[in-house]
Amino acid sequence: MKKLLVVYGVVLGLFSLYIFNYARSEKTSSLKDETPLTGKLSEKFVMVTFQSGIEYWKSGLKGFEDGAQLFNVSVEYRGAARYDVHEQITVLEQVIAKKPAGIALSAIDPEALTPAINKAHEQGIPIVLFDSDAPSSKALTYIGTNNREAGSVAAQQMAELLDQNGETAVITQPRQYNQQERTKGFQKTILQKYPNMKVSAVLDGKGDELTSKKQALAILKKKPNMKGIFATEANGARGVAQAVKAAGLQGKVSVIGFDKDKKTLDGIKDGSIAATLGQDTWQMGYWSLHMLFLANHHSRSLPASIDTGVTIITKNNVDHYYAND
Amino acid sequence: MKKLLVVYGVVLGLFSLYIFNYARSEKTSSLKDETPLTGKLSEKFVMVTFQSGIEYWKSGLKGFEDGAQLFNVSVEYRGAARYDVHEQITVLEQVIAKKPAGIALSAIDPEALTPAINKAHEQGIPIVLFDSDAPSSKALTYIGTNNREAGSVAAQQMAELLDQNGETAVITQPRQYNQQERTKGFQKTILQKYPNMKVSAVLDGKGDELTSKKQALAILKKKPNMKGIFATEANGARGVAQAVKAAGLQGKVSVIGFDKDKKTLDGIKDGSIAATLGQDTWQMGYWSLHMLFLANHHSRSLPASIDTGVTIITKNNVDHYYAND
């Protein structure tokens, strides 16, 4: 009987413990809901790219995931497998249909993607553009390299390599907005700052190593005074470097590339690429997630754009970029 | 005796309740420290301006405070009372000496402030620039209007007002970086896009209504074909509007101003100012706090800059901006 009473007492104590903690956990979880910068794992943000399998997007996705971890929300990665406008539109439409908490898109073509971007916006799904903008769309903001500025930096670097003297060409993907901007920034800076230089050709390398190589070989043949080629994306730079080598012009034609993938860094190391512009793709993903989360939870207004910056990579500092990869 | 046993049992139960909750609260508070986006009220972020009493800064400070509330940290507002470089350097030095958690500075003069900005950085105090940049300093980032772009927008608006034809002038504060950029953006766009327009004078209005009025009166007398004046800051625009009126040229000379203070909006309403460029100063403060907090707590890297955007305000939409003030 005494023992039974002790048991009752303990049970009573444990019961109050249970009640107390139940109330407490209720309070904790309601506090959690009020914590202004904590989301729910059911809140899913989707990153949409093109050529979705390439190494290039990995660091941006890591930034997106790091942002999601900070806010306790989920992410999903989608994209067109190929370099295909229609495929990317289809993927984006599928993502919109699932009504995610937000979408970060890198647009393969600014005009073609705009209707689908605007559809997301009109359905109340926050959408931001990263890396390649669609500036006439209703997307909330753009996060990425200021590509006009990056093109201008490439022109200044080219001028330094060429002692401000000589003919140059650009190999690019003319339909993608970020590439257009890099090309314009390069052309304008040469035109305005370097009277003894000129851009005598802008060619379509289709974002492809082989096409870029062919284009470069053709222009090197056609314009024997060519002194420098700026490739506005990584595959192009590798193709151009091969063309310069094949034409026996190594050391006579300077190649400037874009991005810091391993093959480009190898090109810098072996001298076939003189310089490349490194983008901070991790930041693009990280701030995309931030902006989408804040659009959902708080912000009265978002920035017009966020410039994630570029760094010039040459033989002098290339080792640092291997180390950080 | 039975009762005593019950009491023992209850005491035992309560004791385990206490121990359990003690352990739990330990766990909670350590969890709280780990909560990635919550700071401490003892963590103080300081905003430093110049002409610190003017209305212009209020909205930026509100953004800074709103950001602080989100992260549970404190803010302090400091600034040079006058438009005085040396006073701002002194104030910034005083703020640095107190070792705050971070500083958001609007630099009255980019070169003169750079040594003090770098000092903060070297002492491990995160420092960001907002509204007016010091681009050669070691500040972590710049948050504000892309002023070059804003100047370009002003030029396009001027071209529309003047049917792309006629002489223009700029009244500015030539030592302040944001004003320099607005002037350059205006000049370059007129030069590149509008062959029948020109910028025939750039004058120092000293950020002052009376000086700007005098300068405008002088140029209107000297250049009777003047068709438009762009004042790169608010006091200037009001001075220029008065000069145009005093010279009897209202309706013949178009004035474009900057910012959306009440007097400028009144000028738009009464037609003495044709258009003004509204900046999002709330965002400047809000994202400054964000960047400083994240620099302290998390981020591997911050954006090169954040463009908070501009909107063109004319008679057509001016009422909206009164409402939102």
Q: B37: pLDDT confidence band, cut at 50, 70 and 90?
A: confident
Tell me which of A32, A306, A311, A320 to substitute to probe the interface with B (most B C-beta atoms closer than 10 Å).
Answer: A306
Chain A environment of B27 (Cβ under 8 Å): none
Report which DSSP code applies to B304. S
Token pair 């919109």: residue: A96
* Overall size of chain B counted in residues: 325
Range B30-33 contact pairs with CB under 8 angstroms and sequence separation of 24 or more: none
**What residue of A is the nearest CA neighbor of B39?**
A37
Residue segments in chain A with a per-residue pLDDT below the cut of 50: 22-34, 325
Kindly report, residue by residue over B174-199, the tens digit of the pLDDT.
Answer: 988 899 999 999 999 999 899 999 99
What integer pLDDT is reported at residue B244 of this predicted model?
98
- Rounded CA gap, A276 and A315, in Å? 10
What integer pLDDT is reported at residue B15 of this predicted model?
59
Q: B46: pLDDT confidence band, cut at 50, 70 and 90?
A: very high
Interface residues on B facing A, Cβ-Cβ cutoff 8 A? 1-2, 5-14, 16-17, 20-21, 24, 28, 35-38, 70-71, 143, 146, 280, 282-283, 286-287, 298-310
CA B236, B242, B243, B248 torsion-angle sign: positive
- Closest to A150 measured CA to CA, from A295, A296, A15, A280: A280
**DSSP codes joined into one string, A108-177:** S-HHHHHHHHHHHHHTT--EEEESS--TTS--S-EEE--HHHHHHHHHHHHHHHTTT-EEEEEEE-TTSH
pLDDT (mean) for B267-288: 96
Examine the pLDDT at B35 and tell me if it is beyond 70: no
The vertex-B100 CA angle with B92 and A39, nearest 5°, equals 125
pLDDT (mean) for B40-67: 95
Of B8, B286, B303, Cβ closest to residue A283: B303
**Phi, psi dihedral angles at A74 (to 5 degrees):** -105, 160
H or E, element range at A220:
helix A209-222
DSSP percent split of chain A into helix, strand, coil, nearest 5? 50, 20, 30
Single-letter amino acid, residue A91: V
- In the predicted model, what is the mean pLDDT of chain B? 90
H or E, element range at A235:
helix A234-246
- Rounded CA gap, A183 and A206, in Å? 14
Complex prediction ipTM? 0.77
Of A9, A24, A303, Cβ closest to residue B287: A303
SS3 A49: strand
Q: Quick count: other Cβ atoms within 10 Å of Cβ B1? A: 7
Which residues neighbour A72 within 8 Å (Cβ) at sequence distance 6 or greater? A38, A39, A40, A41
- Structural domains present in chain B: 44-145+281-308 (3.40.50.2300), 147-279 (3.40.50.2300)
CA A63, A69, A71, A74 torsion-angle sign: positive
For residue B94, give both structure tokens: 């005083």
CA B255, B261, B263, B266 torsion-angle sign: positive
Single-letter amino acid, residue A2: K
**DSSP codes joined into one string, A246-284:** HTT-TTTSEEEEES--HHHHHHHHHTSS-EEEEE-HHHH
Q: B324: pLDDT confidence band, cut at 50, 70 and 90?
A: low
Examine the pLDDT at B21 and tell me if it is beyond 70: no
Which residues neighbour A37 within 8 Å (Cβ) at sequence distance 6 or greater? A71, A293, A297, B37, B38, B70, B71
Q: B325: pLDDT confidence band, cut at 50, 70 and 90?
A: very low
What integer pLDDT is reported at residue B28 of this predicted model?
39
Q: B17: pLDDT confidence band, cut at 50, 70 and 90?
A: low
What integer pLDDT is reported at residue B9 of this predicted model?
61
- Partnered with residue A229 across adjacent β-strands are A169, A255
Smallest Cα distance from A190 to chain B, Å: 15
What integer pLDDT is reported at residue B23 of this predicted model?
47
Tell me which of B302, B312, B321 to substitute to probe the interface with A (most A C-beta atoms closer than 10 Å).
Answer: B302
pLDDT (mean) for B194-217: 96
Which residues neighbour B307 within 8 Å (Cβ) at sequence distance 6 or greater? A303, A304, A305, A306, A307, B144, B145, B146, B149
Tell me which of A7, A302, A311 to substitute to probe the interface with B (most B C-beta atoms closer than 10 Å).
Answer: A302
Examine the pLDDT at B214 and tell me if it is beyond 90: yes
Of B5, B301, B307, Cβ closest to residue A9: B5
What integer pLDDT is reported at residue B55 of this predicted model?
87
Kindly report, residue by residue over B287-313, the tens digit of the pLDDT.
Answer: 999 999 999 998 678 999 999 999 999
Are B301 and A282 inside 8 Å of each other by CB?
A: yes
